[in-house]
């Protein structure tokens, strides 16, 4: 190779002047809900593996409030330098625009998608003493008694709020809707029997269902989950209209440089191919089958279709603000 060519090749391989090789310090991954809940669990499992690949720690920061939209606004406004990311989900980046007419971010335009970390099927669960032995009895009981019941959720626009808004509309139910900073704390109150039921992501629920501390009536997708093979689908249980799935995905602020996006998305995909990381997620019931959405382009398409889907679902359920 000619000396001038060698110099050119070396120059292209070096970081741009003024910008150190990324990442040269810890990366913050905002979780827009309380610690210990589904989004937090997914963020910590995936973040651990990505930290190893990137050679820098990914520090999870829990910033709860307004169904996840407070933290998501903050992430949208952060410097697009790859050091502030968010684990968004079907609520913050799908349902929220239908619930908040004055939302300060646009799930499509304000973010650079990195990739989906986990699909998280939804279950209908209730406190252990709930007086229904299966989904049919649950439906009948909720229809007859909804005004006396408390349904727990993580705030307007969250996954639990929007999926249970849909469920309640199908049943014509009007329970008191009790808002928590995430379904981690909501689940604690379900276990202790202070609230009656909720719709939640599987990764938050498997250990409690297996321990028998709460009741699981159905999973709201076409197939049973390998993590909870004894839990019937909503179709098997007589409520086939209730089909909902959620997901958690990493986003960076819009304007994040392409080389940083590619490093982050490579580290995410490596995490999702890593046997140990996969096992931890799969044991909790996460669905890792949508490999297309694990890329920035695939996630961009998913977000666009989810915003449209939830807008339609929530409007026809009469769940949007009047």
Binding-site ranges for ligand MLT (CB under 6 A): 33-34, 37-40, 89, 91, 154, 158-160, 182-184, 201
Token output for 167: 């469920």
Q: Shortest gap between Cβ of 124 and ligand MLT (angstroms)?
A: 13
**Residue 94 has what DSSP assignment?**
I
Q: In this structure, are strands 150-153 and 176-179 parallel, antiparallel, or unpaired?
A: parallel
3-class secondary-structure state, position 253: strand
| 95 vs 267: CA distance, rounded Å | 27
Closest Cα partner for 93 from 248, 262, 281? Answer: 248
Q: Which CB atom, from 37 or from 119, has the smaller least distance to ligand MLT?
A: 37
| 271 vs 274: CA distance, rounded Å | 5
Q: Which residues pair with 199 in a beta bridge?
A: 124
Q: Shortest gap between Cβ of 79 and ligand MLT (angstroms)?
A: 25
Sequence-ordered list of residues with C-beta below 8 angstroms from that of 105, at least 6 positions apart, any chain: 69, 72, 73, 76, 77, 111
Token output for 247: 């997901």
Q: Shortest gap between Cβ of 47 and ligand MLT (angstroms)?
A: 14
CB 63 within 8 A of CB 70: yes
Q: Which CB atom, from 68 or from 253, has the smaller least distance to ligand MLT?
A: 68
Kindly report the number of other CB atoms within 10 A of residue 261's CB atom.
18
Q: Shortest gap between Cβ of 203 and ligand MLT (angstroms)?
A: 9
Q: Shortest gap between Cβ of 258 and ligand MLT (angstroms)?
A: 29
| 289 vs 119: CA distance, rounded Å | 8
Quickly tell me which residue has 């625009």 as its tokens: 97
Closest Cα partner for 240 from 224, 254, 257, 221? Answer: 221
Q: Which residues of 95-126 are buried (b: 16+ CB within 10 A; e: fewer)?
A: bbbbbbeebebebeebbbbbbbbbbbbbbbbb
**Backbone φ and ψ of 299, nearest 5°:** -70, -35
Q: Shortest gap between Cβ of 5 and ligand MLT (angstroms)?
A: 52
């Amino acid at each position: 190779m000619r000396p001038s060519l060698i110099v050119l090749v070396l120059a292209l391989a070096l970081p741009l002047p003024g910008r150190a090789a990324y990442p040269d310090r810890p990366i913050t991954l905002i979780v827009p809900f309380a610690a210990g809940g589904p989004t937090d669990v997914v963020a910590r499992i995936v973040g651990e593996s990505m930290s190893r690949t990137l050679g820098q720690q990914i520090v999870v920061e829990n910033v709860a409030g307004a169904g996840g939209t407070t933290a998501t606004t903050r992430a949208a406004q952060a410097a697009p330098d790859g050091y502030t990311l968010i684990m968004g989900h079907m609520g913050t980046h799908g349902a929220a625009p239908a619930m908040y007419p004055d939302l300060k971010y646009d799930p499509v335009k304000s973010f650079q998608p990195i990739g989906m970390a986990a699909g998280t099927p939804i279950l209908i669960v209730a406190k252990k003493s709930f007086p229904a032995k299966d989904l049919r009895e649950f439906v009948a009981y909720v229809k007859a008694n909804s005004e006396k019941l408390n349904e727990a959720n993580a705030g307007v626009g969250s996954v639990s709020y929007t999926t249970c808004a849909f469920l309640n509309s199908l049943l014509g139910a009007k329970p008191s809707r009790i808002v928590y900073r995430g379904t981690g704390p909501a689940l604690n109150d379900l276990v202790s029997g202070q609230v009656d039921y909720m719709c939640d992501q599987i990764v938050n629920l498997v250990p409690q269902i297996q321990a028998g501390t709460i009741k699981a009536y159905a999973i709201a997708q076409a197939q049973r989950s390998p993590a909870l093979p004894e839990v019937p689908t909503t179709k098997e249980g007589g409520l086939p209209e209730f089909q909902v799935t959620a997901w958690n995905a990493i986003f960076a602020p819009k304007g994040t440089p392409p080389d940083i996006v590619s490093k982050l998305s490579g580290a995410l995909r490596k995490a999702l191919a890593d046997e140990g990381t996969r096992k931890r997620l799969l044991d909790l019931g996460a669905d890792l089958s949508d490999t297309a959405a694990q890329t920035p382009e695939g996630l961009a398409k998913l977000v666009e279709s989810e915003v449209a889907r939830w807008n339609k679902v929530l409007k026809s359920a009469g769940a949007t603000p009047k």
